[in-house]
């Protein structure tokens, strides 16, 4: 029986905590670090080893997985004398599962390669439910050999795992995902408000349209939550705004205008100004209410 790789996990938030727990349950020795220790307490109680710094975690593991906040946070964790690239042992693996900048993913890959490390960008989609049920879509950029080596680890956390291409390809694919969702959420919320104004039976309407061209994951998962008034975040608006800004910036660098994405960003920014930053992205319904 193959010895399980020791994994370091940085970022035990809404999604990260579930992902790390799956790795622990699968038998991987797990070391964890988070800016706020209390978010890792449940993992520690279940056998994870707490590390006080990024550097100490890096020195004690074979693989490091990060799923943190912004590209700025990623840069701080990976670079500098106390960062991952300087402290992970030669031959180690770095997997950034944060939704971040494709350019930063390429920068991490090149810096890691110079140190004899393997880096993959592997952002995810599926929200809190996908993380909890280990059904995440995982979009990977990097070398095929490193991907194949890490595939058993990815399979513990997700069920739709694809190597898209070279470094940065995973992040570009996640931008495609986020751009797809933006106008879709606008349409979904407008449709639900139209349904409400027309005084239609929600169960009958959703049943009627779900198997046609309007059918989607968002319709099946977000519409029932919106109708129940459950706007708790699987993915918070404040984080989605960060993603949309990365997507728009990346598109502009390629000479592409994205008016639908820009409109959604404006709408979400208005909700943040109303104090709704911690609401789930389906909380866009509040823009109409």
Which pair of structure tokens corresponds to residue 98? 């944060």
- Residue 157: strand, helix, or coil: helix
| Phi, psi (rounded to 5 degrees) for 49 | -95, 125
What is the C-alpha radius of gyration for the chain, rounded to an integer number of angstroms? 20
Instruction: Determine which one of 174, 197, 238, 245 is catalytic.
Output: 174
Which pair of structure tokens corresponds to residue 76? 């701080």
In terms of C-beta distances under 8 Å and separation of at least 24 residues, what long-range contacts does 207-216 make, across chains too? 216/184
Distance CA 75, CA 87 (A): 14
Q: Is residue 196 annotated as a catalytic residue, yes or no?
A: no
Number of alpha carbons in the 13 Å side-chain half-sphere of residue 177: 20
Contact 285, 192 (CB under 8 A): yes
Alpha helices (H) along 68-143:
71-78, 84-87, 102-114, 127-132
Contact 141, 105 (CB under 8 A): yes
Residues contacting 181, CB < 8 A, separation 6+: 218, 281
Contact 285, 231 (CB under 8 A): yes
Distance CA 164, CA 72 (A): 24
**Catalytic positions, please?**
174
């Amino acid at each position: 029986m193959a010895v399980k790789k020791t994994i370091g996990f940085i970022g035990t938030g809404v999604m990260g905590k579930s992902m790390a727990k799956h790795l622990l349950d699968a038998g991987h020795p797990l070391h964890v670090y988070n800016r706020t220790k209390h978010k890792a307490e449940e993992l520690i109680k279940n056998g994870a080893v707490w590390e006080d710094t990024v550097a100490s975690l890096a020195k004690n593991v074979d693989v490091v997985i990060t799923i943190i906040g912004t590209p700025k946070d990623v840069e701080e964790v990976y670079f500098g004398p106390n960062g991952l690239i300087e402290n992970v042992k030669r031959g180690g693996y770095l997997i950034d599962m944060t939704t971040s900048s494709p350019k930063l993913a390429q920068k991490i890959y090149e810096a890691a390669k110079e140190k004899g490390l393997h880096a993959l960008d592997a952002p995810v989609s599926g929200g809190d439910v996908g993380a909890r049920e280990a059904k995440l879509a995982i979009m990977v950029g990097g070398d095929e050999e490193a991907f194949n080596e890490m595939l058993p680890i990815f399979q513990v956390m997700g069920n739709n795992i694809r190597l898209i291409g070279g470094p940065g390809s995973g992040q570009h694919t996640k931008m495609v995902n986020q751009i797809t969702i933006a106008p879709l959420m606008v349409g979904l919320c407008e449709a639900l408000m139209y349904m409400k104004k027309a005084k239609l039976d929600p169960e009958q309407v959703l049943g009627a349209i779900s198997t046609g061209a309007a059918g989607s994951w968002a319709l099946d998962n977000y519409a029932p939550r919106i109708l129940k008034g459950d706007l708790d975040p699987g993915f918070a608006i404040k984080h989605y705004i960060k993603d949309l800004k990365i997507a728009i910036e990346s598109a502009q660098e390629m000479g592409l205008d994205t008016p639908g994405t820009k409109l959604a960003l404006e709408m979400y920014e208005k909700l943040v100004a109303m104090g709704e930053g911690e609401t789930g992205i389906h909380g866009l319904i509040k823009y109409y209410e």
